[in-house]
Copies of this chain bind each other. A is one copy, B any other.
Amino acid sequence: MANDKKLVEAITSMDVDFAQWYTDVVKKAELCDYASVKGCMVIKPAGYAIWENIQHELDRRFKETGVQNVYMPLFIPESLLDKEKDHVEGFAPEAAWVTVGGNEQLQERLCVRPTSETLFCDFYSRDIHSYRDLPRVYNQWCSVVRWEKTTRPFLRSREFLWQEGHTAHATAEEAEARTIQMLNVYADFCEEVLAIPVVRGRKTDKEKFAGAEATYTIESLMHDGKALQSGTSHNFGDGFAKAYGIQYAAKDNSLKYVFQTSWGMTTRMIGAIIMVHGDDNGLVLPPRIAPTQVVIVPIQQKKEGVLDKAFEIKDVLSNFRVKVDDSDKSPGWKFSESEMRGIPVRVEIGPRDIENNQAVLVRRDTHEKLTVSIDNIEAEVEKLLDTIQHDMLEKARAHRDAHTYEATDFDSFVKTINEKPGFVKAMWCGCQECEDKIKEVTGATSRCIPFKQEQLSDKCVCCGKPATKMVYWGRAY
């Protein structure tokens, strides 16, 4: 039991130091490790298996909307990156540059892609000729590089994994519809699969993507009350098309520019899962994304029949992602370890249970125990996994709602931001000056102009001038 205690004690309590708690969970749940290149990460099997489930589930949803996967090169020639002014200004400061290849100095430096709008535009300018070629609804799964100064595992790293969708359409309306459609795919995925409730809305001009006409976002709230931008979808209008010369022959044979979108979700969602659901015992994974949904822990496994029964139950539960922990560790150690790794349901089975034809189910999220007949165990586990998935979303939603505040004057706004970590809803005049001032005074940024607007007052919370929109504000990762 000394060992069991050590495993748990090694984690800092989230109430004592949330940042340290996060780092401890990442490490103890074996999700990732630091790499020899500063700011890069090694994603370990337990972390990568979560990403594979995210990929699988998102990719399926994408394809249902007509998305096709492709692969674009890793490198962007500098002259290609330079073509769209706002875009290059946004990304050049964080670029990593290849200058030598095959022992020779390159004639033109190559940027390691920070995002691939420029590559898709270059390709589309050669690939799209006629209205028959539209729409193009392409996506790629890859890694991108942004030379960030301060980094944190999953949340902000110099290289991260993501998907980036890039589409081209005949009309502005169709591009806007696709932009919103993909935002909704992200939002539904977060809520249905990750059990993370999100606020859907539009970014202010100050916060939008470099080169976009409009950026839409889903924003989630972490346990510590800080916001996390969880997925974005951009409408580029025909700005990139004009910069890169992407035209098509319309039905009347006139040449027209295409309208484009892009949208992405990244490995930072693993960070979101940790920070929304985790507790002082470690990771807590929603069943739909958990690489292992059920772990069976035999008690007194050396006694005859115990291990056999454990594997028998594993067979019965083969519709789920299930494992038997038959290692030579103590049951207590196995309990701690399965909790640290966030496995949603633990099945305990020992000689006494076998005698009574029963097993004990333990919920990771609430620690509740449930004794069930082995005869019904498949149905009971299925029901329990559904309940956990549902309850985790509702718990996260309740936490988010309890940490969403309103402010109608600047003093109470500042006081709320400083004293009550969470979202603050407040009216805004639409000027960047007020956004800048709010950031300067409080460190909070505009998270989004939510689709669901409320009229909290008719004045901007900052300058008092007439308000045009209600905005979610908060400090963010």
| A positions within 8 Å CB-CB of B | 33, 35-37, 40-45, 48-49, 51-52, 68-77, 80, 92-103, 109-110, 112, 119, 122-123, 126-127, 138, 142-143, 145, 147-149, 158-159, 161
Contacts and interface: CB of A to CB of B under 8 A. Distances in A.
Contacts of A109: 100
A101 B147 contact: yes
Nearest to A108: B37
Contact of A37 (B51, B70, B77): B77
B75 A159 contact: yes
Contacts of A77: 36-37
B100 A99 contact: yes
6 contacts: A36-B77, A43-B71, A45-B69, A74-B145, A98-B112, A102-B148
A97 B96 contact: no
A110 B145 CA distance: 13
Contact of A48 (B33, B70, B143): B70
A44 B69 contact: no
Looking at A37, A49, A72, A76, the one whose CB has the most chain B CB atoms below 10 A away is A37
A52 to B, nearest CB: 6
A225 to B, nearest CB: 30
A32 to B, nearest CB: 9
Contacts of A43: 70-71
A96 B103 contact: no
A33 B123 contact: yes
A37 B73 contact: yes
Given A99-B100, A101-B147, A69 B42 contact: no
Contacts of A142: 143
Given A74-B143, A95-B101, 5 more contacts: A40-B73, A43-B70, A74-B159, A96-B102, A102-B148
Nearest to A102: B147
Interface SS of chain A: helix, strand, loop or mixed? mixed
B75 A37 contact: yes
A98 B73 CA distance: 16
A69 B52 contact: yes
Contacts of A45: 68-70, 138
Given A45-B138, A73-B40, A112-B112, A94 B98 contact: no
| Cβ-closest 3 pairs across A and B | A102-B147, A40-B73, A45-B68
Contacts of A33: 123, 126-127
A43 B93 CA distance: 29
A44 B69 CA distance: 8
Contacts of A101: 95-97, 147, 158
Contact of A110 (B37, B92, B110): B37
Contacts of A103: 92-93, 95
Contacts of A143: 71, 74, 142
Nearest to A267: B71
B73 A159 contact: yes
Nearest to A143: B74
A72 B71 CA distance: 19
A285 to B, nearest CB: 17
A97 B100 contact: yes
Looking at A45, A126, A148, the one whose CB has the most chain B CB atoms below 10 A away is A45
